[in-house]
Structures are given as C-alpha cells and as structure tokens.
Amino acid sequence: MSDLFEFVLRLGDDALVAAQRLAEWTSRAPEMEEDVALANIALDQLGAARLLLSYAGELEGAGRDEDALAYLRGDREFRNCLLVELPNGDFAVTMAKLFLLAAYQRIRYDRLVTSTDERLAAIAAKARKESAYHVDHAALWVRRLGDGTEESHRRMQAAVDEVWPYTHELFTTDESAARLAEQGVAAAPSTLRDEWLGAVEPVLATATLTRPADGWAPGGGREGVHTEHLSYLLAEMQVLHRAHPGARW
C-alpha cells in the first residue's frame, strides 16, 4: 500500500473510533447540554472519518468505499492509535482523552492545510475548525474538574495519569511518515509534539493538575496491533452492516 493511503487511513480510523466511543455517552452524560455537545463532537469526528476513508478507498484502488473500510475490516486492519479505542471510563477519563486527542488533531489538521496533496489539504481545512472547538470544550471540563472539588480533582488527575502514556504513539515517526514529510505531504509526527505540549501544559497547570512524567509508551495501533477493547467496539459498530450486507434503506 502507498504511504499516502496508510497515512489517510490512520487519520480516518482515529476519527472513526473516537466518534464511536463518544457516541456511547448519548443519554448518559452528566447534564443534558453535555449530552448534546458530545453527540455533536462525535458527529464532527464521524464527518471527518467519512471524508478521510472515502479518500483512502480511492487511493487504495481496490473498490472499497467508506462503508467497506469502516464495517468490513477486522481489528488487525485498523490503523487508529490506541488512545481512541480505550474505554470511556468515567467522565473525567473521557474528557482527558478528548482533550489530548483534539489538541493533537487540531495541530495535525493545521499543518495539513499546506499539504502538497490538495485533497488532503481541503479535508484538513474543514476539520481543523471543528477540532478547535473540541479542544476548547474539553479544556473547559479539564479545568472545571481539575480545579473543582477534592473528588473531581482526584478523578481528573487519575484520568490524565491513565491516558497520558498512550499519547506518545501520536508522535512516533516511522519510515512511511518520514517519506511523506520529505515530500511535503504531511509533517513528521515527532515534529508536532512540542506544539502539542505548548497547548496542553498550560491547561493542566490552570486546572492544578500535574503533568505525568514520560515513561511507559504503549504502541502498535498504527501497525494493526490493538488492545482487546477495539475488538469489542468493532463487534458492536459493525454488527448491523455485517448481518445485512448490501442492504439499502
């Protein structure tokens, strides 16, 4: 497969799995307004996933469209980062995941606007506006919980500690990503981390949260090696399509 196909698939899978996880909060959020907000963010992620997976299907040239890539691949064929497939946990865990992911996505899309690939640049131009809102929304909750009650602070700190190790995978540059960077298609992931830290650390500080030390850095998602959680997520997400292949409304 081409480097560009692999890259677009990674972005699309990140957005697709993130959307599925956020959708699990529908009717379960702590307040009605937040229920609507998380549903809208999930739809934003799904919209980006559709654009990216459609493009990935065209790049692959094997006749697979966005639906085939979303619903007819097994877990070893997915290229999402491990962060997005982790269970939602409590509300603090979900907000920590969303904040750290959205901060990365905003920077990634911002850089892609100047990509030498015009289709990718156009997708990024739309997605970055939505990602900016996702960052602001999640940051509000990180600050609210972190600098709130003793219990909310404890939960928010525990959530950041839990998901932080999984962020390292976002900034790993493999040979494929390095080649795309040389071609001006997409910045190498490792070059995004300083800007990401510049966006994340001030929010953690304002929230009276301690940034976890860098250490254990699980990975493998970009190569199709996932946690057990992705299999359960895909089983639920794909069941209707697989039960009625080719069905039309």
pLDDT tens-digit readout, 189-228: 999 999 999 999 999 999 999 999 999 999 999 999 999 9
pLDDT in tens, 31-57: 999 999 999 999 999 999 999 999 999
pLDDT band at 20 (very low <50, low <70, confident <90, very high): very high
Buried b (16+ CB within 10 A) or exposed e, 9-42: bbbbbbbbbbbbbbbebeeebeeeebeebbbebb
Residue at 118: amino acid letter: E
Residues with Cβ within 8 Å of 65's Cβ and at least 6 positions away in sequence, in order, are 54, 57
SS3 216: coil
Residue 1: pLDDT over 80: no
Q: Pick from 241, 243, 221, 239: which is nearest to 18 by CA?
A: 221
Q: Which domains can be identified in the chain, with CATH numbers?
A: 3-209+219-243 (1.20.1260.10)
* Distance in angstroms (rounded) separating the CA atoms of residues 41 and 129: 12
Q: What is the mean pLDDT of the chain?
A: 97
Is the per-residue pLDDT at 249 higher than 80?
no
Give 207's Cβ-side CA count (13 Å radius): 29
Contact in structure between 149 and 174 (CB atoms under 8 Å): no
Q: Count the residues in the chain.
A: 249
